Amino acid sequence: MGIFDKLKGEFVDIIEWTDSTTDTMVYRFERHQNEIKYGAKLTVRESQCAVFVDEGQFADVFDPGMYTLETSNLPLLSTLKGWKHGFNSPFKSEVYFVNTKRFNDQKWGTKNPIMMRDQDFGMVRVRAFGSYAMRVLDAKVFLKEVVGTNWMFGTEQIADQLRNYLVSGFAEAVAEAKMPVLDLYSHYDDMGDMLTKMMQPKFASLGIELLDLMVENVSVPPEVEQAIDTRSKMGAVGNLDNYMKFQAADAMVKGAENPGGMGGAGAQMAAGLMMGQQMAQSMTPPAQAPAAPAAPAAPASPPPLPTKEFFVGVNGQQTGPYAENVLGQMIASGQVQKDTLVWSAGMDAWKAAGEVAELSGFFGQTPPPMPQ
């Protein structure tokens, strides 16, 4: 090899970088034992910028385009090197190509649950994850604060740091929003916008722009999910008292369709009447303890008269006794008809319920039977 061939190989005539990856953010132009020749061609493609560094100091930054490296195109580098009257000899300078395209589908998520205070469930542990996009906003700041002297820098080398920023910001955003856990599921877009505004200054301090941050899922522990499901079931049932009445009526209808069960129709009717009595007792509010009198108490009123009780005959079987108000509810629900035989203390014999003065008033409150 002649001396001219050796000198020719030491001069770089074309400076360019074609990215064959999808995650490289910075590439330092390889110049091992090579010098940049005066008048060399610099090619910067779209979604790139080139930064010249001379002896550790930032010099010129080139946007997309093709340049001939001369003193007119290198004003800062010429000042650093003191080229007052131009130069013709080769020079050494590091060239960093910075990828300014969008890096999409970057993942973030909580490694550990975040504790938050919820107005419905108290203290709740919440997990969240999503995705975001980013791009280099300021090449010099990014090289100075993040890349350093690495000859190649990829997204995976900064992903953990950015994820920690977002997780911390999510916890702060949830605390500021004071939003119940149940409402978070319908406000993913609002949470994403709020988190983007909060995190943009931190990303900008690294020379990065945060784009299209999305909250894709917010989850709670299984026991909280079970509590939410239980509350949904209770909301679907509605009025618990009406639900119990419906269940009792449904059980009576099924018993009538199966005469062989529970000892025949008489036993089924008796079970229905007993269930009605239990419901009436459960609906009666418990008596409250009297408060201590502040002054001499007034003369006590006479005790209430005892409620009259009736026995009910069902298919030749005696059931009861039932209090008068309970029997009124049975009449209202259709369990006792006008021709149902009843008897109470003081009556000479069994009589139809419609002929008893104490019970006749209950039948006027019920509609006539439906036609067959």
Fold of 239-257+265-278+307-372: Dna Ligase; domain 1 (3.30.1490)
Whether residue 43 contacts residue 63, with contact meaning beta carbons closer than 8 Å, is answered with no
Amino acid identity of residue 96, one-letter, is Y
Alpha-carbon gap, residue 319 to 313, rounded angstroms: 6
Helix (H) or strand (E) holding 165: helix 159-177
Predicted TM-score (pTM) of this structure: 0.57
Alpha-carbon gap, residue 104 to 203, rounded angstroms: 15
Evaluated on CA atoms 273, 278, 283, 287, the torsion sign reads positive
pLDDT tens over the chain, length 372 residues:
444 444 444 556 889 999 889 999 999 998 655 578 888 899 999 999 999 998 888 989 999 999 998 877 788 787 777 766 566 667 788 899 999 999 999 999 988 888 888 777 778 888 899 999 999 999 999 999 999 889 999 999 999 999 999 998 988 888 777 777 777 777 888 889 989 999 999 999 999 999 999 999 888 877 777 777 776 666 666 666 666 666 666 666 566 566 555 445 554 555 555 555 655 565 555 556 555 556 555 555 555 556 678 788 877 778 877 787 777 778 777 777 777 888 887 787 888 877 777 777 777 655 556 666
Q: What is the CATH number of domain 103-225?
A: 3.30.479.30
**314 by DSSP, 3-state: which?**
strand
Alpha-carbon gap, residue 286 to 267, rounded angstroms: 30
- Pairing mode, strands 94-99 and 48-54: antiparallel
